Amino acid sequence: MHNPDNNIMLIQPIHVKDDSMSKESAISAFVEHDHDHNACRGEALGRAEMICEARGVRLTETRRRVLEHVWRGHKPLGAYEILDMLRDERQKTAPPTVYRALDFLLEHGLIHRIESLNAFVGCTDPETPHRAQFLICEQCGTTAELNDPRIDAAISEQAQIAGFSVNRRTIEVEGVCPHCTATGA
């Protein structure tokens, strides 16, 4: 559903586990529906705490606050946006503090970096190692995470045929979401 508080469209991730992905399921990432974002953020934080506990690492207060800010919406946030939010809460926050927290969250699969925007979004499936792909609306900034193993397999297959060794995969597709298309934004 559209959240008037921060003027972004809230979305659900697409998780494809078989070859049945259709045009309709790809579009469903941006379909409006009831979405309690506070519950969404709370669930993400609860999952992060469980993951950190299971891995024997600490989700410190700073790491938790950074993750909370990343999960405040489905719009990617830059490190300095997060820094400004933390400074609003407490005066003595420095850029290295934010970058260390972001590095930790990335390392443990709790967030993703959107390379083209130099920004971060929460990971919708942190329990499962995966290479996500992203749909990014150029109008409202909403970002949908896709987890389609067929895309990854196609890249691996073609790279292997070409004798190419893949070091990093970044798939970010920019366009206009259905909400912005419908509203003419």
Domain boundaries, the chain: 24-183
Instruction: Spell out the alpha helix ranges (H) of the chain.
Output: 23-27, 37-55, 61-70, 79-89, 95-107, 149-162, 178-183
Give every residue of the chain whose pLDDT is below 70, as ranges.
Answer: 1-36, 185
Distance CA 27, CA 11 (A): 11
Instruction: For 137-156, write each residue's pLDDT tens digit.
Output: 999 888 888 888 899 899 99
Q: For residue 14, give the amino acid letter.
A: I
Q: Which pLDDT score is estimated for 38? A: 78
Q: Which residues of 125-164 are buried (b: 16+ CB within 10 A; e: fewer)?
A: ebeeebbbbbbbbeebbbbbbbbbeebbeebeeeeeeeee
Tell the residue number behind the tokens 């196609």, with chain if given: 154
Instruction: Enter the pTM of the model.
Output: 0.80
Please tell me the class of the 24-183 domain: mainly alpha
Whether the Cβ atoms of residue 134 and residue 119 lie closer than 8 Å to each other:
no
Three-state DSSP class for residue 61 = helix
| φ/ψ of residue 75, rounded to 5 | -105, 130
Q: What would the DSSP string read from start to end of 77-120?
A: B-HHHHHHHHHHH-S---HHHHHHHHHHHHHTTSEEEEGGGTEE
Q: Which pLDDT score is estimated for 56? A: 96
